[in-house]
Structure formats: C-alpha cells, structure tokens
Amino acid sequence: MRAIPTIVLVLVVLLMIPAIPEIASDPGEVPGVVVSRVCASYPGEFISLTNHGAPIDVKSWRLSDGEGSATFNTSFIIPTGGSVTWSAPGSFFRELYPEEACVSNDASEVIRKGSLKLADAGDQVYLFDANGTMMDLVCYGNVEPQAPWTGPPAVLKKGSVMVRSGPGKGPESWGTVVPGLFSVTAPSFPVEVVPLLYPDDALPELVRQIDGSRESIELACYLMENWTLARHLAGASARGLNVTVLLEGRPVGGVSDNGAALAYYLQDSGIDVWTMRSGESFRRYDYLHAKYALFDRQRLFVASENMADSSFSSNRGWAAVVEGRQICSYAEEVFQMDLAAKGVDIFPLNTSLVREDGGPGRLLGTMPPAPRTYSATASLATSPFNVQDALVEMISGAQERILVQQMRIDESWLDDSLIISALSSAAERGVSVRIQLDSGLGTEEGNTLVAEVLDQRADDNNWDLECRLTDDSAPFGRLHNKGVIVDDTVVVGSANWVDGSMERNREMAVILSSSELADVFVKWFDEDWMGDAVPPTIVLPWRYLEARAGEPIVLDATGCHDPSGVAKITWDVDGDGNADLQGPMHAVTLGEGEHDIALRVEDSLGNVAVDNVTVVVNAPSNGTLPWLLYAPLPLLLSLILIARRTRRF
C-alpha cells in the first residue's frame, strides 16, 4: 500500500475547514437568540426561538437537524424577550399558542433545503445566524451529543415539548411540559362580590345573571345536566346574545344521556357547544374540571359545583359572582386559550357525543330578592399548578385561622404535599386549623384515614388543629366543596386536594379578600362544622291560657324535639331574663294579672330556640272549688311524664 504524501493530508484538512461551522463563544448572550422550545411529535413539530438580548432581525437565520434546514427568508425582528416559532406542515402550533408569532415551513418566508423532520426517538437541533455561525445546539433522545452541548442528551417524551429553563448548554437547562398548557395567576383588583351557598341560592342567582346579560355568555363546566339553566341559556341565545359553552367530553363515567340531550338542545337553540377530549391520544389537561361563566365579560361566576341537579338540590358548595372588567379579562383569556385548540383536544359536539333526546325543562319563575353584594379585592388562579401555589402562599402567611371544606384530601398528601406541609407549619405557629371532609360513598375510607392521622399529629404536637368528617346530622346531602378561608381571605373554586386537580386538570379559583365577606363564609363553615345548624323545634300544647288565682298552671315543653337531641330546657317565669325553672314540665301558681313566660330550648350542639306563652290569671270566683280538688294534681303530672317518656322509648 502506498503512503499518502503529508502535503496531501494537509490540503485535505484545509479544504474541510470551511465545512466546519463556526461556534459562537457564548450562544446564550451573543446575540441572545436561543432555541427555547422543541416539540418532535403530535400535536406537531415546532421549534421556538427566544431573544434574550437587544432586538434583532433573524432574516437568513437557519434551523437544521443535520439532514434538512429551514432558513428565514424575510425580515423578522424579534424584540427583547420576544419569540418566533418554526412549525412543520400539519403542526397545531397556532391552535395551541394562538397569540404567538409563527412561520410555517411551507410558507414563502422560509427557504427549505432537504427534509427538516425531527425524529421522535432523538435528534439534534442547530441554530445558525445569517453568517453561518452556530448560535445554539440542542440534543435530545438517542443521539450522540456534540459540542457545544455538554452532558447526555435531554429527555423528550412523546406528546411533550422541551422547554428551556436555564442558560446552560446541557440537559440541566431543559424540562418538559404538555404542549399548549396554559395557566394564569391574576393580580388583585377591586371588585364587587355576591357570595353564594349551595344548594340554597346558586341556581336563582345563575338564572338572574343569564337573564340579565345583554351581549355574551361564555360558560365552561365539567358536567352540565340542569334543564332550567339550559332553558334560560336558550332564551339568551334567542335574544341575540353570543352564547358559547365548553364541556368536558370524557368525564369519569362518561356523559349521561341527559347530559348529551341537554348539550344538543343548547346547540339546536343556536348556542356554540364544544367539548374538550382526547385527540390522537393527546389532550392538554386530564379533565376540564373548572365550573365558571362569564357574563358580558364584566361578571365572573366561579363555583365548586357542577351545573347538575344534585348540585342545586343537595350538595354543599360555595360560589361567587365577581364583578369587575379587569379580573374578567383574565378569565376570558383562559376561556379563549382553551377553546382555541380546535382539532387538537377541542371538538364539535357531533364528533364527541351521540345525540339524545330530553328536556325541555322549566323556566325559573318567581325570583327571590337579589342577594347582598360585598366590596373586596379579588385575584384569579387556575390549574395546573397555580391554584396550589396560591394556596401554599396564603396558608404560609396565615396569622389566626384556617378553615377548610374539602370533598377529599388524597391520602398520599399525608407524606408528601406542599399544602399539608404548609398547614402543619401554620398549626405549629399557633394558627387555629379546622378541616371538614366528606363522608360519602367513595371518600369516607380515605378521608377517615386523613382525619385520624392529622388529629393524631395535632395531639402529638399540641396543635390547635382538628379534622372531622360530616355526619348524618349535616343539613346537606354531600360535602362537595373545595373552599378555604385563611384569616380574611376566601378561596372559591373547583380544585380538589388531589394531585390531578392541582397538576393536570383545568381548574379555576377566585381569591377574595374582605373581612366582611369572609365573615359570611365563616358563618357558613361554622354552621356546617357544628353539623346541625337548625335550632330545636318547639311544640307546646298552648300559648295562651286563662286561669283563676290559686289554680296551678302546667308548663309543658315535652313535645319539643331536635335531631341532635334536646340538651336543656329553661323557663323564665318572672320576666327578669334569668331562668327560674329547668326541665320540660312544671306546675306553677301565679298571682293575678298577665304573665309572659319565656321558654328556651337548646340542643346538644348549642342551637337555641325560644318562644313565649302568656297566662292571664283572673280573680278567684265566689264558688272556689275546695282545695281537695287539686290534691291529686302532682300525681297526675307524674303519670303524664311517665307516659310521654314511655312513648319515646
């Protein structure tokens, strides 16, 4: 074999040098444009560039995977902090990020060379400036990394998007999220608030808001199965309002026949009805679990309860109508961003549900008086993540009290939860903590465990913390609330205390600050905490009686009753405000004149009922009966008491 002359080898190396791209000394700073997002699979390939430096024109900049390239063929100035995205044909980038600048690979603004097609299993993304200098390099999956990348390739799972989280040149500067994931935390704004309690007054107020709207209604809900609401929404559409409804298309257990019939009724009434569900096994959120509505983009209704019959008839929950354009603008943005992903995980009704027949339900006739409005400040938080972050921040700053009503707390949170950790720290600081959980089917076992563990921790550490489940004396069917009160701030929203709600669902909550408004929710909580908020029922054989002087009068309260049991009965005979007699039955003799006798009945939970009886004692008649006629009276009273008690047992 002949040796290759040295001069030839040098010549070959020199010829190769122009083919080796120049690498910028610091791709994160010169000129400040870096690759910030990479998505290699459904819902579509795209590569985002973000500018961390001065405004710059990226005309003639080039993206490549080593096999094909796309060059920006037109002037495009990226401002400081701004971005532009290249997307492959068929990508849903514009649907997922409707407010961001995007250039499609098949657009005239792009010069294509070869095939720029990112591999799901692994690939490299190069960014070159107009002079051919490599400004950035991203390696992911099963590729062999090269400089300036350091360390192993980044991990990119199918259905995820890589997002740059730091300035480094290795995997430590990258994380993954779900494409199109969107969540907000709004600042606080002055608002007017109507607090609402389920099942008592939410339905009439919802109808009032629907009927009072003049331009638009936008509603998003996990379940909608109430025909009264459907009828009033159809009426709004008939009046010319733009009404849009977004429903969860795959709730747990599926959409009921009644729910499907109602959805088609709304659509047939001219309402735009859409569903959120999986497309190509992809969706941005596990579930659309929020329950909210925007009226004329001025009033925001947020609730813990679905728009179903059980919500308005038996569930305990909270809601609020918040009036203020600024906070409504944030809720409007959430609604429009969720609705924008048509063809990704937002689909028309006829591609999601089989048509069913039902309804048409009834209109709500006579309306109760409008509830009171309170001035407050309000902010908005959504899940994924932001509701949890807001709760942790609030609880961590608690000074006096934390009151929690939750349908369920995930048992795994006892060992690893930011919220439970914050609650424990608050209790350690001396904050009073009360937690009430549901005891219904599917929640009782887990919630019992949570209550036992938290109460034991409170005993071990001498905390003022108590956790209890609802019982049969509760004045509602099921505790479905997701409410929190921290000092004078109230959280009203849809997020259960489980990982799915905090990290993967679309949830919404309003955070309301006002001492006067907080007192309303505290009152509701206290009544439920007691279990039986209803005072005893007073039953008396008479409330007015006339007698002769010297005749004994029988005061009889043995008919009074209460589900929790009557604990104490007292009589104020002389009207001085103090109890003179204690017990259900007494025989008294009164002087001549009119006597108002006050009865006070208290149950075992401290609820009190009061009533009065009036006795008019006249002068004795000339034919006064002999005293022996009254001698058997004590024996008769004893027999009556024995008979009543025997009937009770």
Residue 632 pLDDT class (50, 70, 90 cuts):
low
pLDDT at 561 over 70: yes
Residues 459 and 555 in one domain: no
Please check whether residues 517 and 488 belong to one and the same domain: yes
Query: Does residue 293 form part of some domain?
Result: yes
Question: Are 444 and 524 found together in one domain?
Answer: yes
How do residues 258-316 score in pLDDT, each as one tens digit? 999 999 999 999 999 999 999 888 999 999 999 999 999 999 999 999 999 999 999 99
pLDDT at 575: 93
pLDDT band for 11, please (50, 70, 90 cuts).
very low
Percent of the chain's residues with pLDDT above 90: 84
Indicate if 23 and 161 belong to the same structural domain.
yes
Same domain, 594 and 487: no
- 512 and 553 part of one domain: no
**Number of structural domains in the chain:** 4
End-to-end CA distance of the chain: 116
User: Is the residue at 371 inside a domain?
Assistant: no
Same domain, 596 and 472: no
Owning domain of residue 412: 378-530
**Domain containing 23 — which CATH number?**
2.60.40.1260
Write down which residue in 134, 156, 177 finishes a domain: 177
Same domain for 454 and 521, yes or no, is: yes
Is position 357 within any domain?
no
Write down which residue in 476, 500, 530 finishes a domain. Answer: 530
Q: Point out the domain boundary residue: 151, 177, 203.
A: 177
pLDDT at residue 10 greater than cutoff 60 = no
Q: What is the pLDDT of residue 645?
A: 54
Evaluate whether 497 touches 479 at the Cβ level (below 8 Å). Answer: no
Q: Quick one: which of 233, 212, 287 has its CA closest to 500?
A: 287
Lowest mean pLDDT among 5-19, 165-179, 324-338, 600-614: 5-19
Query: Would you call 125 helix, strand, or coil by DSSP?
Result: strand
CB 127 within 8 A of CB 135: yes
pLDDT band at 633 (very low <50, low <70, confident <90, very high): low
Distance CA 37, CA 34 (A): 9
CATH number of residue 215's parent domain: 3.30.870.10
346 and 393 both lie in a single domain: no
Question: 57 with 21: CB under 8 angstroms?
Answer: no
In a domain, 13, yes or no: no
Could you tell me the CATH number of the domain that includes residue 592? 2.60.40.10
* Whole-number pLDDT of residue 643: 58
Radius of gyration of the chain (CA): 35
DSSP code of 619?
A: P
Confidence of residue 641 (pLDDT cuts 50, 70, 90): low
Shared domain for 62 and 150, answered yes or no, is yes
Q: Is 370 part of a structural domain of the chain?
A: no
DSSP state of 409: B
Quick: pLDDT tens for 462-514. 999 999 999 887 889 999 999 999 999 999 999 999 999 999 999 999 999 99
Q: 244 vs 280, which has greater pLDDT? A: 244
Give the integer Cα–Cα distance in Å for 571 and 557. 10
Q: Are residues 617 and 517 in the same domain?
A: no
Average pLDDT over residues 512-527: 97
**Predicted local distance difference test score (pLDDT) of residue 534:** 78
* pLDDT interval class at 623 (50, 70, 90): low
Q: Beta 374-383 vs 507-513: how paired, if at all?
A: antiparallel
Q: Is pLDDT at 30 greater than 50 in this prediction?
A: no
508-545 core/surface letters (b: 16 or more CB in 10 A; e: else): bbbbbbbeebbebbbebbebbbbbbbbbbebeeeeeeb
Asked if residue 579 is part of any domain, the answer here is yes
Per-residue pLDDT for 24 more than 70?
Answer: no
Q: Is residue 6 part of a domain?
A: no
311 burial type by CB count under 10 A (0-12 exposed, 13-18 middle, 19+ buried): buried
> Does a structural domain hold residue 342?
yes
- DSSP E strand stretches across 263-314: 272-276, 291-295, 299-303
Write down the pLDDT at residue 359. Answer: 80
Question: What pLDDT, on the 0 to 100 scale, is given for residue 365?
Answer: 80
Report pTM.
Answer: 0.80
| Judgement on whether residues 508 and 430 belong to the same structural domain of the protein | yes
Q: What is the pLDDT of residues 152-205, one digit of tens each?
A: 999 999 899 999 999 999 999 999 999 999 999 999 999 999 999 999 999 999
